[in-house]
A = this chain, B = another copy of it.
Amino acid sequence: MNSTGYSGQSWPDPAGRWDKFVSFDHYLEAARLAHQGTFDAVFLSDHPALQAVATARPLHSLDPIVLFTALAARVPDIGFVITASSSYNSPYNLARRLASLDHISGGRVIWNVVSSFNPDIAANFGSAPLPPRAERYRRADEFVEVVKKLWRSWDLRAIAAPERVGDPLWDDVSAAPIDHHGEFFDVRGPLNVPLGPQGYPLIAQAGASDAGIDLAGRHADIVYASLLGKQAARDFRDRLRARAVAHGRDPEHIRLLPGLVPIVADTEEQARRRHEQLNGHTGEADLIAAVAARFGLSATKLGPDTVLEPDAFGYDEDQQAPIGFTRSVRDLVAAEPLTLRELARRAEGGHRLVVGTAEQVAEQILDWWRAGVVDGYTVQPPVLIDDLRVFVRDVVPLLRAAGAFGTDYPEPTVRSRFGLPDPVPAVAPAVSAS
């Protein structure tokens, strides 16, 4: 639910308020709609920098934890996936902010760990250039480890409740220093926020590089990804589970929720026209040319109906820019014979596009889920509020009718809602020696 929507050209507003990206009421309306649609959580991606392209709506403005805290105080039940960088934060402060909101929201926090790939971000945090990917991921891994240690460090249940003035409210067991000393961090602890309603927040991760998948396998409860084809989703899921097993985790404890861009209209033709218009294109030829340009292909030379070669979509594990979007297109054309005309309708802004009537969109959503290759989706409405409203009104009832989607929130925390185990089972407080 970033800004005015997933589409860069979603800023125009019938009421003339183009700057809704800083309007709390705008986000409150979106969150309430998502709650009405019984979404498990809402999600904000983040870059702590003003983007370079000044003709698209600012995708990242209000700080995610601040905006989501305000929403948590106004909208019940729904969870909050909060993106925060492990490269440009300190573990103690971030662990504390997330744990604080986990208390205030009653256990509805999910931290989406990103390592930040953009040199524009680095320039806002000092004179040093962006560290190489490998270093950023080593730092991310240690950062998450420190944050988890801090979250576990103060357990109110591990000491008898005080009864009178002078009784200790904590001791070195219930609130234990973590004394962490690693490559990147030295942190004594304990955290000054105790364990919360769900123990501590869930971890989400989205990196698609080998280092990113390894980090997810080690730490993630929830994984967000760009997956354009069913086979690619299956392969990705298998890789993820293998990394989880390699790190000694139960692979059943990871939920895969790839991105999904729904464009829903009364007829398929109308939905296709809306897809073109979203990008400012006047028709399909225009859209196809733009897709070709994005990948450095010549639409004229290639022809819109020539089957594409996977090798036309190159990436490098060592590149600074995220490799997920390019790889997902490459995987798609490797798995299915696709022309440029077809590819233009399979992805939008790097994520899986589903265009059509509510029935068609619901069927595509259910298809992968029934096949067991995904646990759900991260729905990215091109225009907020419009596309979310249509999705909740027209698609959600079909998903509910198919038994794939709930009608209320029986579980209070996101951890219990996603069926994940308690990370810190209670232990009885030590009996005093007296």
Report A259-290 CB contacts with B as 1/0, cut-off 8 Å: 00000000000000000000010000000000
Knowing A73-B73, A169-B58, A171-B54, the reply to whether A11 touches B124 (Cβ < 8 A) is no
Report A64-105 CB contacts with B as 1/0, cut-off 8 Å: 011101111110000000000000111011001100110110
Q: A48 an interface residue at 8 Å Cβ cutoff? A: yes
Q: A189 an interface residue at 8 Å Cβ cutoff? A: yes
Q: A49 an interface residue at 8 Å Cβ cutoff? A: yes
A125 to chain B, nearest CB (A): 6
Q: How far is the CA of A186 from the CA of B126 in the complex (A)?
A: 5
Name 10 A/B residue pairs within 8 A (Cβ), A-sorted.
A22-B194, A48-B96, A50-B192, A55-B165, A62-B100, A62-B104, A63-B97, A65-B66, A69-B73, A166-B280
Are B97 and A55 touching (Cβ within 8 A)? no
The stretch of A154-162, A234-242, A323-331 in contact with B is: A154-162
On A, residues with C-beta under 8 Å from B are: 9, 11-12, 18-19, 22, 24, 47-51, 54-58, 60-63, 65-67, 69-74, 88-90, 92-93, 96-97, 100-101, 103-104, 120, 123-127, 154, 156, 161-162, 164-171, 175, 181, 185-194, 196, 280
Could you say which residues of chain B place their CB within 8 Å of the CB of A97? 63, 65-66
Are A92 and B62 touching (Cβ within 8 A)? no
Are B125 and A187 touching (Cβ within 8 A)? yes
A167 to chain B, nearest CB (A): 7
Are A100 and B63 touching (Cβ within 8 A)? yes
- Residue of A11, A63, A103, A166 ringed by the most chain B CB atoms within 10 A: A63
4 smallest beta-carbon distances between A and B, as pairs: A73-B73, A123-B188, A127-B186, A70-B73
Could you say which residues of chain B place their CB within 8 Å of the CB of A61? 100, 192-194
